[in-house]
Amino acid sequence: MRRTRVLFLCTGNSCRSQMAEGWARHLAGDRWEVRSAGTHPAGLNARAVRVMAEAGVDISWHHAKALDPELLQWADRIITLCDNARDRCPATPPHIQRLHWPVEDPVWAWGSEEEVLAVFRRVRDEIRKRIEALLEAEPRDPG
């Protein structure tokens, strides 16, 4: 059975989509083939790398990728993670299941370093819970 191809999409392909890709690779095992991309790639966020490492997931290898038409054709499911991405994302082919998770952008958090990291951790944990719920809802391959 072919693995489900999941594309996490966020405007910058930095914090949220990269954390989602990291969690999905960690939690889904061989059930999903996972990628992430952005409409305006921004790079890897050091705080996202830090809070994911605290949870035992390494995303330091990641680099921001731009969304291209091949990725849209590749995906079975696109999950948008930006507050406003639903309206700003490109049209997707009809065969693709599209989900939207309105996850806050931790980059805009302010305060002390510990307060900002607390926001990153909250976003990290929300994304993990959403991926776990999606995996639980999917039928498992009996083979």
Interacting residues of 20 by C-beta distance below 8 A, sequence separation 6+: 8, 36, 79, 81, 127, 131
Is 15 labeled as catalytic in the residue annotation? no
Give me the catalytic one of 6, 9, 10, 20: 10
Q: Give burial (CB, 10 Å; 0-12/13-18/19+) of 104.
A: middle
Indicate if the alpha-carbon torsion angle 6, 10, 16, 22 is positive or negative. Answer: positive
Q: Which residue among 28, 82, 117, 131 is the active-site one?
A: 82
12: amino acid identity, one letter:
G
Which residue of the set 89, 103, 119, 131 is catalytic? Answer: 89
What's the burial of 8, exposed, middle or buried (CB within 10 Å: 0-12/13-18/19+)? buried
Q: Which residues are catalytic?
A: 10, 82, 89
